[in-house]
Structure 1
Amino acid sequence: MAELPSNVHLTLHPMYLSICGPWVYEDENHRTWLHLIIETGSVLQVLLRQVDYPSEHIALTTSLKTSHTMPSMWTLHHDSQYLDSMGRLWRIMQHVEDDMEVMILELIDNS
């Protein structure tokens, strides 16, 4: 019997992700996403993990690192890109679900 792949590749991406607390974004379905900044050389990537994060644990203010380096919002621009609130384009490198939903965005040069 053939084994099923461990990761399911998703093509239905959140329409938007809006910051709602330190390190936490919320999508249009009120699901929360924690982010991790990944810098490898000149490439900036953000890993977003969809987690059930109780709203009472989300602070009303954002941390300095979040507010200065991360956009306040991402909006789905095309099927494979997001436009952030700073006018930059991000390519969806991966959007998979295994035990949890994970999306990796990469900043597009000169965007």
Structure 2
Amino acid sequence: MDDLKLISGALSGSPSSLLLLRGHGRAPVQVHLTLHPKCLRIRGLSVYEDEKHHTWLHLVMDTGVLQVQLCQEAIPSGHMGLTISPLTLSTMPWMWTLHSGSKYVDPMSRFWRIMHHVKENGVEEMKLELMDDS
């Protein structure tokens, strides 16, 4: 079995993340992030953009509870759709704002719990879940 090493996030440039390494000199497997984007705004069909101009693709999952999988993906601004699908507008908020560090609030005052936020193999992913009391 590979030996596992836990190293503080200071090595990854994020003071509050956890870096998991496998074996000797191999690339990180997964980094759990606790520093989340402050704001995500819709910029095109299935595309959100954060305050640092990173783009995030989203996938809606409804398994009895509405969840959204966001994946940070570099998309040149010229490749983003200029229009937003009516279906996207009716099911997804046009913006999320970070609220109290562990959840987001949308313009309809609904709260979304951050289920996980990781960076795996260089790709940042975040899963949000609509909270029951929203």
Instruction: Return the TM-score normalized by structure 2.
Output: 0.78
Equivalence for 2:100: 78
Q: List alignment gaps of at least 5 residues for structure 2.
A: 5-20, 23-28
1:18-73 deviation digits (Å, cap 9, x = unpaired): 00101000000000000000111x21100000000111011111012211100000
How high is the sequence identity, in percent, across the aligned residues?
A: 56
Q: TM-score, normalised by structure 1?
A: 0.94
What is residue 94 of structure 1 aligned with on the other side?
A: 116
Query: Residue 82 of structure 2 aligns to which amino acid in structure 1?
Result: L
- The amino acid of 2:58's aligned partner reads H
Q: Which residue in 2 is equivalent to 1:25?
A: 48
State the distance in 2 between where 1:104 and 1:23 align.
15
Per-residue deviation, 1:110: 2.3
Q: Distance in 2 between matches of 1:65 and 1:110?
A: 24
1:29 is paired with a residue of what secondary structure?
coil
* Matched position secondary structure for 2:53: coil
How far off is 1:85 after superposition? 1.5
Q: Secondary structure at the match of 1:56?
A: helix
The alignment of Structure 1 onto Structure 2 pairs a total of residues equal to: 110
Match of 2:80 in 1: 58
Q: Secondary structure at the match of 1:8?
A: strand
User: 11-20 vs 77-86, which deviates more?
Assistant: 77-86
> Aligned partners of 1:22, 1:62: CA distance in 2, in Å?
5
- Which residue of the partner structure matches residue 3 of structure 2? 2
Larger Rg: 2
Matches of 1:86 and 1:21, distance apart in 2:
20
Q: Mean Cα displacement is larger for which, 2-11 or 81-90?
A: 2-11
